[in-house]
Structure 1
Amino acid sequence: MNSPIDEPESYWREKYLRLLNSGEAYQLDQEQREQLLSKAVIRLTYAASGFDPALDPHLLALREVMRKELKTSDLRQQLDALMDAMIRVPPSDHSDAARATGLELLRFLKSPQLAYRDEKALDVLQERIESNTFGTEDQLFAAVAKRLNERPGEESRGWMGRLLGGHIDSSADESKLRGPLEGLLKAVSAPASLEKRKIQLIERVSHGDANLIGLLDSSAALITEIGAELSKEHQALHEFLSALSAKLGQLEEKTFELQAQNQESAEIRRTQGEAVGEEVAGLRSAARDETDLLKLKDIVETRLDFVATQLEAHKSEEEARFAASQKQLRDVSLRLVLLEQESDDLRTRLSQAHDIAYTDALTRLPNRAAYQERIELEEKRWRRFRQPISLVIWDIDRFKQINDRFGHASGDKALSFISRILISSVRSTDFVARYGGEEFIMLLVGSDENDAMDVAEEMRKRIEECEFTTHGKRVSITISCGMSQFKGQDRYEDVFERADQALYQAKRKGRNRCELAPVNR
């Protein structure tokens, strides 16, 4: 490093450049923080939108201010306007909300499909609802649940059984409940430990299990368990992130301590340099002015002794500070190593959680949630590049017969067998997922409807000719599909709907065939 005395110009130039670099780094850090805060505010305004119509215009204005070049005056103005609007918003009337919800619930309980026969209990409940007895919806639901649980002679039935009176009045009512129930179960993402129960329950619903009340109770119990499992996972992740945040805070404190020590050391060095400089200047002055050689000798010795003492003291202090800083650096390094290990562990856990959440437990194919993520991505790519994409929906023909004749274990084996054929028949750029039950879904990227038909026919023939055996017997398996291509202003829902209709036509025309959906123009 250049000296301010020997090379003052180089010294001050280097010092200026260091300060300039430091200032630029600080400015960049501030800009990044400002961008992150802006993104956070914008997302919070989206999250808060819709809670009160009076606040929505202010949230929109605040969002627009954050998206433009940020000016403190504009931001303060919008924040003040938002706060004023929040003050003017009247408190919500929970009793009115509870009353409206209660009347809807009462209408549901009185519907003929439910055949809820305790009319006296319904009359009491209606009177309490209309008089705004329930201050909140939670109080309303608690009262209804208590009333259902108190019905005599029905302790052995589940809560759905008590709600529906133990039976369904007609097959039409039953079919109205089975379809939504099956759709609900398919839409729920279950942990790996509960996935098999979910699949078995879906099969019982779709294949006409006679005990619909029991199915409803089982479904409710399963969804409750899924919620509990997800809550445990979220709690474990929250605890882990909290511990990680605390350790990052400790690491930050250590960093600040080291920075303060470095600043203190620099200040001491500056003070020592000034003291030594003063002694050297005194020596120069004495050498220039003193004529008595003996006095000059004494002055030089005294000042040199002082300089030596100062330097020795400075050396001792620097050694102590260096030892302390080395100890802290080792501590920080150890904390960093532990933090890196925990971060790797978190990444592994998150990766495993992602795989579990997006993988079908039986076939190991991507599941419906993974399909949803992929189709949204492929739609965006298609809109940008207009590369052809075809969607194919597969359904195993007469799959229920396999379960009925050979058992669910054979049905699971057939699903795994067909999934291997499907995944081995496509390119790495394509996508295959289990959509639910005996349905699979496929995205053929870069393939128009004619190419997709050729690929699908080849797969259909492979499955028709496959050698599938269970319990020592060869079982014939066929599969049907419907397909459609992205065209015009399609959304992925439009393409899926056409492919689903084409699959329906394939089933109507005798199964074991592939049908291409016509595009509605």
Structure 2
Amino acid sequence: MELEQWKQKYYDQLDRLEKKEQDWEKLESTLKRTIGRLSLAAEGQHDVLDKHIGTLRNAMKKEINRQSLESIVDDISRIISKLEEKENSPNRQSVNTLEQLLQKLNLPKSAEKTRDKLLQKFSKSDDDKRDDCLKKTLDLLLSVIETDTGAAKKKGIIDRLFSSDDDTPSSAIENKPTSSVSLADEQQLNTYKNCLLELLHKLDNPNSPSGKLSALKMGARDAQQKSELDKLSDQLSDILQSRIEAPSSNNNATSHHTTDASLQPSIQELLIRLLEQLIVPADLIAEADKMKHRLEQETDPKNWKTLLKEVALLINSIRSRMQKEKQEFENFLQQVTDRLKIMDLFLQNETSNLQEAGMQGQAFDKQIGLNVDEIRMDINQATELSNLKENVNTKLDTISGHIKLYRESEDSRFKKSQQEITDMHSKMQTLESETVKLKKLVVAKNKQAMCDALTEIPNRLAYEKKATEEIARWKRFSNPLSLAIWDIDLFKGVNDTYGHKAGDKVLKTIAQLLINSIRETDFLARYGGEEFVMLLPGTKQEETLRLVNKLREKIESCGFHYHGNAVKITASCGVSSFNENDTLTQVFERADKALYKAKDNGRNQCVVAACLSD
């Protein structure tokens, strides 16, 4: 019976080992996906860099070759260094914009010479002189406008400057009646205003991410004095300097949709998110926190190469630690196997000893029987009493000798068996002690694997396991089941303004607020980054919406402070319920779309998937 129990324990340990190997494979797969997404985020900066990034992605899809991977990373680092050197060269973004504008202008012949001189001067200037360049450009435009005395009756001068068959006059251009008192000044002001409006109209586009140019157009339309128009011209200069609406003539092959770079996570933020998702051993947590702090502080692209290598070393350390733990676990299982073999050998010896004892007992009985028969024969054949007595004594001595040998053999076998049992008992106690330690270690590791290190609530792995259980229960009993996805509003702004430590504190605060406010039957996990996911069994969609709205109000009124500064924290939520034949993926996608709908509607609200069509 004990042997079967130990064999079962052995098989259980093998199952745990296989699960640990599966967890490592999942981690390795996650790392590959993360590197793939990081490579996608880095694409588009340079053709040669894109080629090496593609090579890196292809290498990650195959079996990893360390030497080949290091070679690819070194090549990418070298290209990044060259790009950094190029970026350190003088910035000419705004000046290039002015050059392109001047080249597209249809100027009178009298102004072409001036334009050529400006273009020659611009070719030797950088953005440090952009204000002077912009002023000279505006002076040229004003000089052309002032020479056109019939602007009120003819086609607009800006339309001629940017003439095109499909261009239509801007609706923003308004011809106000001139004053009889100062006709020339008001006419010049209107011309200046119309020129600026038309220029803004030509620069603006529907994909403008911030709407700043539209705001400038409104300001120009309402301006009543030249000083107001001068101020708007300065603001336009600042916008060109910050590249918000700079034309991309050298990037015709790229997408026509402009993406606000401020909304995209930086390389450092992606690496920080990666470290947050890793299962870090206890003795490496301090090192991981130190690395996250460095990623937060060292934002200079020149440090990317060093940071990437150090993050890779940290990940390798985590992997080595996991391999070491795996090796220790395998060694323990090998010890268990060896000791089970010893136990098996002991039982075999005991069986053999019992068989030998049985055979010796049978031989002893047989010998005793023969000696007794001989005594009977001697008694029957005896003629003299003295001879009979001597024969009986001899036979009795022989029987006593057999009995003595048998007892000595049994005593020796008993002592040997007793010693083996004592040794085996000692080994069993040692094995039991090690098993208890291993069980505690496995429980701790499983708990660590299922818990988010930062917020100390269940992680995505725990959510997937719990979701599988709840879906099975939902299918079996047909009780309602809802899913809610939370996302902290403008979380990147908190990180950018106060630092990642403040962001970490926000995540901890929100996580503890939610998990302490939900029902015992509900389940909350950190899905990743600033996203949380909830499972609400036994709850219909309408009731779920009421519950999550209460939680949203608690988040809004939590009164978060960081270093004495009040920081307004809100969250948005998307809700969906399980319907017949639904899969987890389908429900999650519906809740995710509802979440984005809540974001589009202004954030700090909860949206139900069923209401999306309303």
Aligned to 2:608: 516
Structure 1 residue 450 displacement after superposition: 2.4
Structure 1 residue 180 displacement after superposition: 9.0
Query: Is the CA contact 2:540–2:577 (under 8 Å) kept in the aligned structure 1?
Result: yes
Where in structure 2 are the equivalents of 1:109-508 lying within 5 Å? 114-116=46-48, 146=71, 149=74, 158=77, 161=80, 189-192=279-282, 211=301, 220-287=312-379, 293-508=385-600
CA spacing shift, 1:506–1:447, aligned 2, 3 Å:
same
CA spacing shift, 1:474–1:185, aligned 2, 3 Å:
closer
Structure 1: any 5+ residue segments left out of the alignment? 1-24, 48-107, 126-136, 152-156
1:207-252 Cα deviation digits (max 9, x unpaired): xx78495576666455444333322322232233233333333333
1:403-426 Cα deviation digits (max 9, x unpaired): 334333232222222222211222
CA spacing shift, 1:402–1:490, aligned 2, 3 Å:
same
Structure 1 residue 305 displacement after superposition: 2.0
CA distance in 2, matches of 1:442, 1:367: 11
CA spacing shift, 1:410–1:305, aligned 2, 3 Å:
same
SS state at 1:440 partner: strand
CA distance in 1, matches of 2:609, 2:293: 28
CA distance in 1, matches of 2:526, 2:317: 23
Query: Is the CA contact 1:392–1:483 (under 8 Å) kept in the aligned structure 2?
Result: yes
Q: Aligned letter for 2:498?
A: F
Structure 1 residue 184 displacement after superposition: 6.7
More displaced 10-residue stretch of structure 1: 178-187 or 425-434: 178-187
Query: Is the CA contact 2:482–2:536 (under 8 Å) kept in the aligned structure 1?
Result: yes
More displaced 10-residue stretch of structure 1: 288-297 or 388-397: 288-297
Query: Is the CA contact 1:203–1:437 (under 8 Å) kept in the aligned structure 2?
Result: no
CA spacing shift, 1:337–1:518, aligned 2, 3 Å:
same
Q: Aligned letter for 1:466?
A: C
Structure 2: any 5+ residue segments left out of the alignment? 23-39, 56-61, 88-250
Q: Aligned letter for 1:358?
A: M
More displaced 10-residue stretch of structure 1: 289-298 or 468-477: 289-298
| TM-score after normalising by structure 1 | 0.63
Structure 1 residue 337 displacement after superposition: 0.4
Structure 1 residue 204 displacement after superposition: 11
Structure 1 residue 308 displacement after superposition: 1.7
Query: Is the CA contact 2:572–2:605 (under 8 Å) kept in the aligned structure 1?
Result: yes
More displaced 10-residue stretch of structure 1: 396-405 or 182-191: 182-191
SS state at 1:387 partner: coil
Structure 1 residue 336 displacement after superposition: 0.4
Structure 1 residue 430 displacement after superposition: 2.5
For the pair shown, which has the larger CA radius of gyration, 1 or 2? 2
SS state at 1:484 partner: strand
Query: Is the CA contact 1:481–1:502 (under 8 Å) kept in the aligned structure 2?
Result: yes
Structure 1 residue 350 displacement after superposition: 1.4
| TM-score after normalising by structure 2 | 0.55
Aligned to 2:191: none
CA spacing shift, 1:472–1:377, aligned 2, 3 Å:
same
CA distance in 2, matches of 1:475, 1:112: 36
CA spacing shift, 1:287–1:141, aligned 2, 3 Å:
closer
1:158-189 Cα deviation digits (max 9, x unpaired): 47837989899888698699799898777654
CA distance in 2, matches of 1:519, 1:287: 115
CA distance in 2, matches of 1:488, 1:515: 21
Structure 1 residue 394 displacement after superposition: 1.2
CA spacing shift, 1:251–1:373, aligned 2, 3 Å:
same
Structure 1 residue 200 displacement after superposition: 9.3
1:188-217 Cα deviation digits (max 9, x unpaired): 5444555688789899999xx784955766
Among all aligned residue pairs of Structure 1 and Structure 2, give the percentage whose two residues are the same amino acid: 33
Where in structure 2 are the equivalents of 1:60-75 lying within 5 Å? none
CA spacing shift, 1:393–1:164, aligned 2, 3 Å:
farther
Query: Is the CA contact 2:594–2:612 (under 8 Å) kept in the aligned structure 1?
Result: no
Structure 1 residue 274 displacement after superposition: 2.0
CA distance in 1, matches of 2:331, 2:366: 53
CA distance in 2, matches of 1:393, 1:195: 28
CA distance in 2, matches of 1:388, 1:490: 12
Q: Aligned letter for 2:48?
A: Y
